[in-house]
Amino acid sequence: MEKDQEKEEDQIYSWTVDINYEIFQFREGLKEGEPERNLYLAVILQALLDATHPTTTCSISEANAVQSQATAWFFASVSSSQTDFEDVCDMAGLDPSYTRDFAHKIIKTKEITFIRKR
């Protein structure tokens, strides 16, 4: 049982590194002196993680709620969530359409192999 958990944690870590690389790679000219942009990139990354890998430190209903909220944040079409999403993308230096499409590939299709092949 413990080995299965370690294997799953390794897979999640590997997946996180791949997503992190994909997001940071897209943003041209990322420099260490840009803490605000790095913060907003981290917000997007955390939302992707919340939407796909709910935390195990809370109840199932709480994890499902977090997962639903994170998913809704990416795909809201009319609400303050859409504005928030676009603002976060702008502050991160990412195109909101590209980021939404990328999130769709990850969240809706559950296909993450394309990330590793780039």
Task: Return mean pLDDT, the chain.
Answer: 75
pLDDT band at 33 (very low <50, low <70, confident <90, very high): low
- pLDDT, position 107: 84
Do residues 28 and 92 touch, judged by C-beta distance below 8 A? no
Element (H, E) at 81: helix 80-92
HSE-up of 81 (CA within 13 Å, CB side)? Answer: 13
Q: Does the pLDDT value for residue 44 go beyond 90?
A: yes
Q: Does the pLDDT value for residue 7 go beyond 70?
A: no
CA distances from 56 to 8, 16, 83, 87 (A): 12, 16, 30, 29
Q: Does the pLDDT value for residue 49 go beyond 90?
A: no
Rounded Cα distance between 65 and 117, Å, is 32
Q: Is the pTM of this model over 0.85?
A: no
Q: Does the pLDDT value for residue 11 go beyond 60?
A: no
Mean pLDDT throughout 25-37?
Answer: 65
pLDDT band at 5 (very low <50, low <70, confident <90, very high): low
Rounded Cα distance between 15 and 9, Å, is 10
Digit-coded pLDDT (tens) for 74-112: 988 766 667 889 999 999 999 999 999 999 888 887 655
- pLDDT, position 94: 93
